[in-house]
Structure 1
Amino acid sequence: MSRHVIVRTSKRVPEQVLKGLAEAGASTVHEADGRRGAVSPDLRPIQAGARIAGSAVTVSCHPGDNLMIHAAVEQVRPGDVVVITTTSPSTDGMLGDLLATSLRARGAIGVILDAGVRDVAELRAMGFPVWSRAVSTQGTVKASPGSVNVPIVAGGQVIHPGDAIVADDDGVVVVPHARVAEVLEAARARTANEDAKRQRLAAGELGLDMYRLRPLLEELGVVYVDES
Structure 2
Amino acid sequence: MPGRHVVVRNIARPEQGVVARLAEAGVSTVHEAMGRRGFAGTELRPNQQNIRIAGPAVTVSSHPGDNLMIHAAVETCRPGDILVVTTTSPSTDGMFGELLATSLAARGVIGLVTAAGVRDAAELREMKFHVWSRAVSAQGTVKASPGSVNVPVTLGGVRVCPGDVIVADDDGVVVVPRQEAVQTAAQAEKRTAKEAVTRDVLRSGELGVDYYGLRARLAQLGVSYVDGAPSAPEA
Which category of TM-score, normalised to the shorter sequence, fits these structures?
A: over 0.9
- Cross-structure match for 1:24: 25
1:165-184 alignment runs, 5 A limit: 165-184=166-185
1:1-228 alignment runs, 5 A limit: 1-227=2-228
In 1, Cα distance between equivalents of 2:158 and 2:223: 39
In 2, Cα distance between equivalents of 1:86 and 1:102: 21
Identical residues among aligned pairs (%): 64
In 2, Cα distance between equivalents of 1:169 and 1:78: 22
Count of aligned pairs between the two proteins: 228
Shift of 1:213: 0.6
In 2, Cα distance between equivalents of 1:96 and 1:210: 49
Aligned-CA RMSD value:
0.9
Letter in 1 for 2:183: E
| 1:149-180 deviations in Å (ceiling 9; x for gaps) | 00111111110000011111111011111111
TM-score by structure 2 length?
0.95
Gaps of 5+ in 2: 230-235
In 1, Cα distance between equivalents of 2:11 and 2:224: 60
Letter in 1 for 2:133: S
TM-score by structure 1 length?
0.98
Gaps of 5+ in 1: none
Shift of 1:50: 1.1
Runs of 4+ in 1 over 3 A off after TM superposition: none
Larger radius of gyration: 2
Report if aligned partners of 2:11, 2:162 keep a CA contact under 8 Å in 1.
no
